[in-house]
Amino acid sequence: MTSISAVIITLNEEKNILRCVQSLKSVADEIIVVDSFSTDQTKAICEANGVRFVQSNWQGYAKTKNYGHTLAQHDYILSIDADEALDETLQAAIKKVKAQGLSGAYQFNRLTNYCGKWIKHGGWYPDVKVRLFNRHEVHWKDLVVHEHVSYEASLKITHLSGDLLHYSFDSIAAHRKKIAHYSKLEAQKVKHKSKGTLFFKLLFSPPLTFIKMYFFKTGLLDGYYGWKVAQLSAFATYSRYREALR
């Protein structure tokens, strides 16, 4: 039997945190929330549900998550975001390998809920994530836009059944707002390219993104929201190159 510390970072997550915490109770031996001074009911909800609640200044996604690892009593970390939750199949899979004794790291599929619709096509599923690992073998590393887990290529990765449920955008307006926020950051990754290349990408990458997601990756099977996901992904691509050309 291997003990597990679940680590969550939060900022004003009163809409999500209870669902997240409840999904962890059957698999985690402790639940730690590293909070960047929320002003809503996040703290009260956590403290009412047996969570170890620690407030800390925001250091960026990777550094804040890694700081959470240092607070854990156990070496095996289940790293999860506040807008995520383990489904019952994944809970059972984690309990099984936990009882056998954990070794290496573990990955599983992430299924995203978009405006109340589970998106199972368009390249959004399976969105495989490594989230259960030994903190001495895996750590978070920042990229320009998103953080990711970093580990040696030789590390054994085991895939578990079940889904990590991701409750992403509850409205199309929220999706648009995130695109506006991240387009300048995304532009930094391509700004080194020549103006000619960027202009070519501006013209052709957005429609190709839509075609790839909606048709080749069968986003059309997700109905209206499959179309919106493809459309706004194309718009995000356009915004990235437009910002890079400025």
- pLDDT per residue of the chain (246 residues) written in tens, 0 to 9: 999 999 999 999 999 999 999 999 999 999 999 999 999 999 999 999 999 999 999 999 999 999 999 999 999 999 999 999 999 999 999 999 999 999 999 999 999 999 999 999 999 999 999 999 999 999 999 886 789 999 999 999 999 999 999 999 999 999 999 999 899 889 988 988 999 999 999 999 999 999 999 999 999 999 999 999 999 999 999 999 999 998
What is the per-residue pLDDT for 20? 98
Q: Which residues contact 144 (CB under 8 A, 6 or more apart)?
A: 185, 186, 188, 189
> Domain locations in the chain?
4-167, 172-245
Q: Which residues contact 125 (CB under 8 A, 6 or more apart)?
A: 109, 110, 111, 112, 119
What is the per-residue pLDDT for 14? 98
Neighbours of 94 (CB within 10 A): 24
DSSP state of 172: H
What is the per-residue pLDDT for 184? 87
CATH fold of the domain at 4-167:
Spore Coat Polysaccharide Biosynthesis Protein SpsA; Chain A (3.90.550)
What is the per-residue pLDDT for 185? 87
What is the per-residue pLDDT for 94? 98
Return d(Cα 208, Cα 228) in angstroms, integer.
15
Which of 16, 214, 218 has the alpha carbon at shortest distance from 113?
16
